[in-house]
Structure 1
């Protein structure tokens, strides 16, 4: 009888542990996803440069991509992000707490149209909400915010470049 009781307790304990791990894992995954699912992601707009007009730009909705090359020639091309790129960008944005980043990441009294400081504008469009971030590269107020903005900018640039390389190859 004692052996039977031990077997039942062992079975109940095993089931309870599996259930706790499953529920905990489910909530961890959902917390990492952020407030909006990847399926509600519509488009990404990414611009960079100095001064008043940002010549370098990418719009994922239209696929229009233009940038100045090493010879200061304006290159215009079409680059579409595939589903894997969109999911990757969405998950990276959530991982870097996109929705907690401030709209403007710049030093106090900074000139957002400065000819001397590189500026990035990143806009994430979802079905119900849009998040636009302006990031000035000379920002030095909060190192964590600067690191997250820089990492987000690099991920976007890398993803666009990978998509462009994919289209450039026959």
Structure 2
């Protein structure tokens, strides 16, 4: 056996089982993923100042209510397309939404008496539901706060885009 054929044989014996194991391992990981889009049911998004989350959206019913610039409550029906929901699901996954704690507020020692915007984001699946209450003044973990803020902006802009399409 020549030196070249020994190297090829060695590469096949090491690389092939490694690749097969990677395919096997990650196929099981993807199959058992806790939050799959195929199991997705709805998104609930609420926001407002302080504890009053007056502005609300539910993707299952399409009901959207918000306070406009004249301080009057507007109720409309806005349906998100499946592509929009898939985009939001991927953005949530990209931002690590599944690993967020349920409440993102400052600890009691750093709380201020300021009514800051609060956001409630809920992704509902067949078997599981993940919800997060995010305070815009959250400063304990900056990266986590930025990720939650970005997700809230993405959801808000997607709802506004869908409303403009109708």
Any conservation in 2 of the 1:103–1:132 contact (CA below 8 Å)?
yes
Cα distance in 1, alignment partners of residues 90 and 67 from structure 2: 29
SS of 2:116's equivalent in the other structure is coil
Taking only aligned residues, the RMSD between alpha carbons, in angstroms, comes to 3.1
- Post-superposition Cα deviations, 1:45-75, rounded to whole Å, max 9, x if no partner, equal 1011114432111000100011122222322
Matches within 5 A, 1:1-170: 2=2, 6=5, 10=8, 13=11, 24=22, 27=26, 34-109=33-108, 110=111, 116-167=115-166
- Post-superposition Cα deviations, 1:16-69, rounded to whole Å, max 9, x if no partner, equal 7588568657839x56x9522101111111011114432111000100011122
TM-score, normalised by the number of residues in structure 1? 0.78
Any conservation in 2 of the 1:55–1:67 contact (CA below 8 Å)?
yes
Cα distance in 1, alignment partners of residues 13 and 157 from structure 2: 44
Kindly tell me: are residues 14 and 115 of structure 1, through their superposed partners in 2, closer, same or farther at Cα, counting changes over 3 Å?
same
Cα distance in 1, alignment partners of residues 107 and 58 from structure 2: 29
Cα distance in 2, alignment partners of residues 64 and 119 from structure 1: 20
Cα distance in 1, alignment partners of residues 90 and 152 from structure 2: 14
Deviates more, 1:155-164 or 1:10-19: 10-19
Cα distance in 1, alignment partners of residues 105 and 147 from structure 2: 13
SS of 2:107's equivalent in the other structure is coil
SS of 2:122's equivalent in the other structure is strand
Q: Unmatched 5+ residue regions in structure 2?
A: none
